[in-house]
Amino acid sequence: MVDHITIAGAEHDAEAERELSWRAKTLGLAALDMDDAELMHSWRSDPVAAHQIGIWPRSLTAVRERIERDVEDDDRDDFLILLPDSTPVGHVALTNQNIVNGTAQVELMLAARHRGHGHGTAALDAVVDLAFGELPMHRLTAETHTDNAPALAVLAKSGFTQEGISRAACLHRGRRHDLAVFSLLRPEWEELNRPRAWEA
């Protein structure tokens, strides 16, 4: 299974206010925990997300087990994306973190009802600022299907550069899909003309 940038998901109500790990101008990031399993399961079960991420349906138990495993993984940080009223609108993560090389991969998934409102770009900008402003990262990467237009637009708005195409790199529903490979380097982030998350 391959996890990629995607803009997909399902509708969900606001949950109780949570402690934020990272705050940006229009949203906050709260550390993902076991209580988020049902929410993540519903988002990952959405057919659009399944296509764009290249996943197959998993049981709620399997999602819980995955979250439990990921929480213990020192090489990744997973966050719920929350609006100011604590409404969860998606999930963003820094994965495959290599502190020695200063590299990590970004993953993003938005709930369907919250697409098209700029939350994807805001969340990606926030986690990028975390990676370069608080962690010693030098290079961030992201991958998505080449036909995932919303994700391609979000990556471009956040300053990522498309490096190339991994041809036929993902199998989903009997079809091979090409993956667009993106990256953002620290010097490029430093040159971005936008407020940083900590300036919110």
Residue 5: Cβ within 10 Å count: 28
Q: In this predicted structure, what is the pLDDT of residue 61?
A: 83
**Can you tell me the distance from the alpha carbon of 96 to that of 113, in angstroms, rounded to the nearest whole number?**
29
* pTM of the entire predicted model: 0.84
Higher pLDDT residue, 12 or 117? 117
Cα angle: 16, vertex 31, 160; to 5 degrees: 120
Distance between CA atoms of 145 and 171, rounded to whole angstroms? Answer: 11
Work out the pLDDT band at 3, boundaries 50, 70, 90: very low
Residue 56 has pLDDT above 50, yes or no: yes
Region 3-25 average pLDDT: 60
Residue 110's H or E segment, with its range, is strand 103-110
Phi, psi angle pair for 13, to nearest 5°: -85, 165
> Is 51 a residue whose pLDDT tops 70?
no
Contact between residue 20 and residue 12 where contact means Cβ atoms under 8 Å apart: no
- Residue spans per domain, the chain: 22-199
* CATH fold label, 22-199: Aminopeptidase (3.40.630)
Per the CB < 8 A criterion, the answer to whether 9 and 112 are in contact is yes
Q: What pLDDT sits at residue 148?
A: 87
Strand partners, 161: 183
Bridge partners of residue 32, in order along the sequence: none
pLDDT of 174 higher than 90: no
Residue with tokens 């805001």: 122
Q: What is the mean pLDDT of residues 17-32?
A: 87
d(CA 33, CA 64) in angstroms, rounded, equals 9
Q: pLDDT tens for residues 98-141? A: 999 999 999 998 887 888 788 999 999 999 999 999 999 999 99
Per-position DSSP letters for 77-98, written without gaps between them:
EEEEEE-TT--EEEEEEEEEEE
**Confidence check: pLDDT of 161 > 90:** yes
pLDDT band at 55; cut points 50, 70, 90: low
Where residue 40 falls among pLDDT bands split at 50, 70, 90?
Answer: confident
